[in-house]
Structure formats: structure tokens, C-alpha cells
Structure 1
Amino acid sequence: MSETNRTVSERLDALPFTRGHLRVLSGSGLGWALDAMDVGLISFIIAALTQHWGLTKGEGGLIASVGFLGMAIGASLGGLLADRIGRRQVFALTLLIYGLATGASALVGGLALLLIFRFLVGLGLGAELPVASTYVSEFAPARIRGRIIVILEAFWAVGWTASAIIGYFVVPASENGWRWAFVIGAVPAVYALVVRLGLPESPRWLASRGRTAEAEKIVAEFEASAGMGAGSGAAPSSPTPEVAPPPAPEAQAAAVHNRLAAIWAPEYRTRTAAIWAVWFCVNFAYYGAFIWIPSILVDAGFGLVRSFGFTLLITLAQLPGYAVAAWLIEKWGRRLTLSVFLIGSAASALAFGTAETEGAIIAAGMALSFFNLGAWGALYAVTPEIYPTSLRGTGAGWAAGFGRIASIIAPLLVPVMLSAGGAGLTFAVFAVFFVVAAAAAWALVEYRGKALEED
């Protein structure tokens, strides 16, 4: 690690939580919430289109799965691009792609075109999520980094709650309610411009690319906002940063190959296998459950509006889950917090699958929301930490991309599992996946309070 990189890293870790951190966190978090709103809306729209278009459960599962197929590809490509061209540019571009595709979905008249737009939505959404967590983690001081990432993830609950509110009030209001829901989901296309103009690039990434003047200028601005003097690596007097010319296409392709090979090098092999396993299992259980809960409740005879009301109540438990995880992750550490919330998710899934009364359904569903979203917060905190700066976007992106394979499969398998054994069997399978993820979490490296690796 070069002296400049060490200086930038140490100065970032020495900072208190500043207005600059709040701007990065809230700016990224709002984008995260809008992402969640889009993903959450599709669960309500599938239930509505099943009635309006006469879709089968298989077709409804296909609508969800094609979006997750786009997310798998987007997550893998987004991480590579983030390591190549920067975190902020990829963040803004992905918001723009999926926002425009969501708005266009409001105009479709049939299943085929809807599937095309849902794939494009997933492409943008999948690339944005791991890039955002990497971006924020590279600004956060080591002693509170885990807590900040869980707070970032908590914006997901805000967005999913917004989707539940739209699902309850807008989607069932008329035959075209689902179209208006898509229109509301197009807001990120406008927000992308705010992100591009308003947020700084990651100083750690800039330093790793040799753009030291830009990196140190950003760090100095954060130090100034905290009332601190510039560190030993203060920005040089020249205002023009030195930027190396872009490598040839052959060199770029080799760099991509090298980064992919590096995350499976002996030093990182165990943690890569473990994080991929956790991502796969959590994606399968989470999206298999929450994409289908509104439709499962409708099939149980509760009616569209009533089922959406139950789902709204269940969703409200996500925020307390994040809040508890944010507190515990710096007390217990990443691995223990993640595994405990995953075991809680498994128990809640079993309870939901066997619940029969309204009270039991709501209570078990709220517990599932609480534990599962707390686990997501811990997972997003630990994922970028286990790789150095040069591999962080790639490692986080490919872990998320591999996990999206499970989110593609799960919505397609849920109708089969429901037919074979009802909700009891379906949620028992989800519980098994949560337990496997909890076990895999113990193979991860614990980074509570430690500085991020630079090289």
C-alpha cells in the first residue's frame, strides 16, 4: 500500500460522523429506498395483474424472475464497472436505467413487453445495490462503518413501506392502478441527476487509481466540515489532478479477468465461497417469501385490499429490525449479528407457514420482516469489508450477482411448492435456506472496528 493511499485511508478513519457523511448516506439511501420501492411494487402488481389479465401463477413468477435475471447480470457488471470507472458514475447510471424502464412499464399492454422492461429494470437495480454499499463503506470511519451500512440498508425498509402504501391505496383503486404505481416508480430517473451532480467520488477509489489530488481534496473537505485541519496528506497546490490515460481494450479485458481471478485466489477463496453461499440462500428465502406473500394471502381468501393491508402491517416491522441490527453489529460483530438474525428468520418462516388465524399471520409475518431485514443489513455491511479497495466493487457485485440466481429461481419454484405442500412446506424450505446461510456466515472474516484493506 502506497503512502498516499495509507494517508487517505487513515484520515477517513479518523473522522467523526460529519455533514459530508450525512450527505453521502442520505443521498445513497434515498436511491436505495427508491430501489426497494420498485422491487416491492412488483409483488402487489403481480397480484393485481393475476386478476386483471388472468395471469397464471407461473406467469406471475416469470414477471418476478425476469427482473431478478436482470439484477444478477447487473450486479456482476456493476461491480466490475465500479472498480473500473468509479462508484458515483455507476450509481447514477443505474438509477437512470431502471427509473426510465419502470416508467415505460406503465404503458405496456401485454405480458411480453412487460417482461422486457422488467429485465431492464433489474439490470439497473442489480448494478446499483452493491455499488451503493461499497461507495458508502469507503467513506465511513472504521469504528462505525458497520452501523452506517446497516442504516443505509434501513432505507430499504422505507422504500418497501412506500411500496406497501402505494400497493394498498393506488394499485387496487382502479383497473389501471398498477400503471400509476409504475409511474410513481419512475422517480429515480430524475433523482439520478441529483446523485451525479451532488455526491463526491470515493476518495479510496480515486487514490487507488492514482488520482491523488482529487482524493485528498475530498478528504480535506470532510475534515473541514468536522472542524479538523488537513491531514499529512493534504492536497497539493496544483489544482489539476494527474489522470493516467485509459488502457487499451486488451488491457481492460485482462484487468477484468484478473479481478475475477483474484477474488478466488487462496487468500480470499474461503470468504468468497462463504459470502456467495449466504447471498444465494438469503435471496432465495427472502424473495421467494416476500414477492409471493400478497398473492398467498389473496389465495387464502382475504381479498385483494385486505391482503395488501396485512402486507403493509408486516412491512412496518422492517425498520425496527434494521434499528436493532445497526446497534448490535458494532456490539456483537458482523458474524454473530448476521447469524442470529438468520436463525430468527428461520423460526419466523416456520411460524408463518403454519399460521392460521389473522393475528398469527400478522405476528409471524412481522417477525419474518424484523429478522430477515436485520440480516440483510448485516450482510450488506460485511460484504464490501472482506475485500481490498481494488477488488471491493467486483467482490461485492459478484456475490450479489450470484445471489440473484436464487432470486430468479425462487419465484418460479414457489407455485410448485405451494401446489405440492402448501404454505407449510414452502416456508419450511425457506427456513432451511436461512439456517444454511447462518452456518456459512461463520466462515467470513470479522472486520468490526478494523480499517478497510487498501490493496
Structure 2
Amino acid sequence: MRQDTISDATGIGSVIETDIPARLDRLPWGRFHVLVIAALGVTWILDGLEVTLVGAISGALMESPTLRFTNTDIGLASSAYLLGAVIGALVFGWLTDRLGRKKLFFTTLTIYMLATIATAFSWNLWSFIVFRFLTGTGIGGEYTAVNSTIQELIPARVRGWTDLVINGSFWLGAAIGALGAIVLLDTSLLPGDFGWRGAFAIGGTLSAIIFFMRLWIPESPRWLITHGRAAEAGKIIDGIEEAFRRKGFILASVSAAPERLKTRTHTPLWEVATTILNIYQRRAFVGFSLMAAQAYFYNAIFFTYALILTEFYGIPAGDIGWYILPFALGNFLGPICIGRWFDTWGRRPMLLLTYTVSGLLLAITGYLFAENLVTVRQLTAAWVAVFFVGSAAASAAYLTVSESFPLEVRALAIALFYSVGTGVGGVLGPFFLGHLIDSGSRATVLVGYLIGSALMIGAAVVAACWAVAAEGRPLEDVAKPLAAAE
């Protein structure tokens, strides 16, 4: 690495010629990447835990002598969580691009930890909603800081599959939440109004453990370079490579041409807006379509799954977790089994396939439910099939958005599309479908499912036309850095 020109003592405004991006992409898979996935990918586990807990304990919240929620209250609390995630993503996304990935993924994890513990001490509907909102802000911020970091540290040849598996780990959290609810809602172990409170301690405990694991994760060298900290970036990549050599790995030579980047302190918001909405307008439309469709598809259905089981099939609140477990397993296995095709067959054909198939399966399952043609076990099996494919589709939306835009605006781009997509498809979805369930009519609920199906198929068409072919390509090739010096 060498600096060509220096305009000030900090290196801001200098032009740096560097091969660090290529050195990161040539690394073999090793312990470093596993640690990155474990310490950062836990964000999705925490989100899955939170979503599942509220769904699994919804019956307990309705029966609680302190809270006595209605179905609409449950939907409102779910929407508050998602609204918090939207605002958290925007605020922390902007800060992540400005202050760095590492500072923010510690900050957002702390906010999540404190807020989810506070939820256990809720005393009425509005305190519960406020704490859920704050929990959501932490999770939304986590998405932006963590996804941008993972994208910038994982080699290009496995970026797609890795990203999908990490996003799919949401369902490990769902399984943990389901098992936790089964145990903690057992009134022979805990009084009824204490079980749901204890359930929120799971997320607080897990996040405290992960906080210490993240101490070993470095700042993104790609981010450091563009912010005038080339020497620090060099030390990080040297240390990573030396760890591989000590393990006996022989590193391939760097064949790609060095990147020439002009360092900057930050990217002005006007330039962020121009980049996303003007220069990459078509990619922006693809990102919005994918995110909005999967947000409604997932949040509207999964946040209200427990209500369907209790209202239409009479499943006791304490047994909800047993039905969520196979649902979570199918969702987790989908990205693992399908994800590699995003790196081999390609992004565009796989987006078309997964979004179309999951949309069609949703419509079929909704029809079977509306006509009362399936038992509760058959309905669960149908949902497993729907979301085996749908989980890969939803995860691919985050992959597409995070790799489609330049490094300098990556975190804020993730935040923007997550926020807009979730705001349109996710915040309104649970409240809307919860209201449909309150009608007591299966046909009315079907309308909500058909909307989700139409959104998924529409997003598939958009992706087939305009999604970028990013498989196996370095991030700097997919989207040229704004700091690139000609």
C-alpha cells in the first residue's frame, strides 16, 4: 500500500493506492470468518428471538392479570417494535457510515440489551409498547452496522451463501424463543404473570455474552481506508493474514489491480441521496420492491401466526412453541440448502425463482386455510414449505441491497431500504392482519395472505428485469466507491 498525495496530517483528502479489498477477497475460509459470523450474525438470532417471543407468549399476554391484551393490542405492540427498527436503522445507519462499523454495533447491541430487559418489567400496554419500540431501535441499528461489516469482511466468492445463512439464523432465534416459551409458560414452573416476563431475559442474557465476543472483531479495513486511516487498515489485514499463515494456509497472490481512493471524513447526505436515488435509481427500485414484499410476507404472517393457532384452532398458549419449532426449522434450512445457488447460478434467476415460488405457495396455503381444508398440523407443514423457500427469498433481499451500493453509503442504503420496506410492508402488516383475525372470518384473513402473495410475485418480476448480477464479484466492482480516484 502506498499514499500518493497527502493534503493534511490525518490523511483526509489524500489519494491512497491499496490492494486491501483484493487481499480480503482472496482469503481462504477460516476461523476469522467463523468468528465474524458468530459475533455479528447473532443480530438475526436476537431478532428471531424477539419476534417469536411476542408471538409465542401472545396468549399469556392476553391472559395476564396485569396486561390483558387483545389481538389488536398484540398487533399494535408488534408494529411498535417494527417502527422502532425502522427509526433505529435510519439513525444508526447514518452514524455507521460516518463514525464506523465497530462503534455502532456495540452501541446498538447495548440499546437492545437494556430495552429487552426493561420489557420484562412492563406494567401496562403503553409501557410494553415503549419498551418494544426501543428494542426495535437497537435491532434496526444492528442490521445496518452488522450487515455492512459482514459484507466488507467476507470473500466475494462465498458472499451470497454466507449472507443468506446469516440472515437465515433469524430462525435459530425463533427456535430458542419457542423453546423458552414452552418452558417459561409452564404454570407448574412459574406463575402465569411471571413466565412471559422471564422470557425476555433470554435475549438480555444472550446479548451480554455476544457483547464480549465482539471485542475481537476489527473495524472494517475498507471503511478505514476511505476515512484516511490507511495505516490502521494495513495493520488489521496484516494481522488477519498472519493468523492464516500460522494455521498453515498458503495465501494466493493478489492479481487484481490496486484501488485508488480519495479519503474523506464523511459522505454528505445530499451525495447519499444523489447516489441512491439518481445514479443507482434502478437498483433502488429493485431494493425497495424486494424489501417491501418480504417485510409484509414475513411480518404480517409470522407476527400473527400464534393468533391463528389460538383463534381458529384452539391451541393453548403454552403449546404454541411446539408449532413454531418446525416452522423455524424449515426457515433455517431454506437458506442453507438454497443459498449456494445464489453464488453459482446467480442472483437474478434465484431471486425470480424464490420470490415467485414462495408467493404462489402462500396463496395456495391461504386458500386451504380459508376453506378449512387443513388441520393444524397440516397447516404447519404447509407453512414450513412456504417459508423454506421464502426464507431464502427474504434473506436475498438484504443481500441485494447491501452489495448494490458504494461502500460510503452502504450502511445508510441498508437502513433506507430496510426502513422504507419495513414501514410499508412490516409496520402496517401485523396490525392489518391482526385486525383481520379479529373479524373471526377465514375468508377475511385470506385477503391478507393474497396481498402478500401478490407483493412477492411482483417483486420477482422487478428482480428478473433489473437485479444486478453480483455473484463472485468484488464489492468495488459491483458498485464503484464514491472515493474512487481516476
Same fold (TM over 0.5): yes
- Show the 5 A alignment for 1:287-366: 287-300=299-312, 301-353=314-366, 354-355=368-369, 356-366=374-384
* Matching residue within 412, 416, 424 for 2:435: 416
1:231 is displaced (CA, Å) by: 7.7
Cα distance change on mapping 1:172 and 1:286 into 2, 3 Å? farther
* Matching residue within 26, 33, 40 for 2:45: 33
Q: Does 1:99 align with 2:113?
A: yes
Whether the aligned pair in 2 keeps the contact of 1:325 and 1:378 (CA below 8 Å) is: no
* Matching residue within 217, 225, 248 for 1:207: 225
Whether the aligned pair in 1 keeps the contact of 2:291 and 2:421 (CA below 8 Å) is: yes
Q: Secondary structure at the match of 1:224?
A: helix
- Show the 5 A alignment for 1:11-410: 11-52=23-64, 53-173=67-187, 174-175=191-192, 176-191=194-209, 193-227=211-245, 228=250, 255-265=268-278, 267-300=279-312, 301-353=314-366, 354-355=368-369, 356-405=374-423, 406-410=425-429
1:308 is displaced (CA, Å) by: 3.0
Q: Secondary structure at the match of 2:379?
A: helix
1:131 is displaced (CA, Å) by: 2.2
Whether the aligned pair in 2 keeps the contact of 1:5 and 1:204 (CA below 8 Å) is: no
Cα distance between partner residues in 2 of 1:371 and 1:90: 32
Letter in 1 for 2:239: E
Structure 1, 78-87 or 27-36: larger mean CA deviation: 27-36
Whether the aligned pair in 2 keeps the contact of 1:144 and 1:330 (CA below 8 Å) is: yes
Cα distance between partner residues in 1 of 2:434 and 2:34: 43
Deviation readout 1:44-72 (Å, 9 max, x if unpaired) = 23332122233222211110001111101
Letter in 1 for 2:305: I
Aligned residue-pair number: 438
Q: Give the structure 2 partner of residue 451 of structure 1.
A: 474
Q: Secondary structure at the match of 2:219?
A: coil
1:192 is displaced (CA, Å) by: 5.4
Structure 1, 417-426 or 160-169: larger mean CA deviation: 417-426
Cα distance change on mapping 1:338 and 1:6 into 2, 3 Å? farther
Cα distance between partner residues in 1 of 2:28 and 2:309: 47
Cα distance between partner residues in 1 of 2:135 and 2:17: 36
Cα distance between partner residues in 1 of 2:171 and 2:288: 23
Letter in 1 for 2:322: G
Cα distance between partner residues in 2 of 1:231 and 1:210: 26
Whether the aligned pair in 1 keeps the contact of 2:81 and 2:135 (CA below 8 Å) is: yes
Cα distance between partner residues in 2 of 1:264 and 1:13: 29
1:4 is displaced (CA, Å) by: 4.2
Q: Give the structure 2 partner of residue 238 of structure 1.
A: none
Cα distance between partner residues in 2 of 1:100 and 1:357: 40
Unaligned ranges ≥5, structure 1: 234-243
1:162 is displaced (CA, Å) by: 0.8
1:340 is displaced (CA, Å) by: 1.6
Q: Cα RMSD (Å) of the superposition?
A: 2.4
Cα distance change on mapping 1:436 and 1:152 into 2, 3 Å? same
TM-score of the superposition, structure 2-length normalised? 0.85
1:189 is displaced (CA, Å) by: 4.5
Whether the aligned pair in 2 keeps the contact of 1:263 and 1:272 (CA below 8 Å) is: yes
Whether the aligned pair in 1 keeps the contact of 2:362 and 2:453 (CA below 8 Å) is: yes
Structure 1, 442-451 or 287-296: larger mean CA deviation: 442-451
Cα distance between partner residues in 2 of 1:203 and 1:389: 11
Cα distance between partner residues in 2 of 1:25 and 1:307: 30
Whether the aligned pair in 1 keeps the contact of 2:160 and 2:340 (CA below 8 Å) is: no
Whether the aligned pair in 1 keeps the contact of 2:161 and 2:340 (CA below 8 Å) is: yes
Identity %: 28
TM-score of the superposition, structure 1-length normalised? 0.90
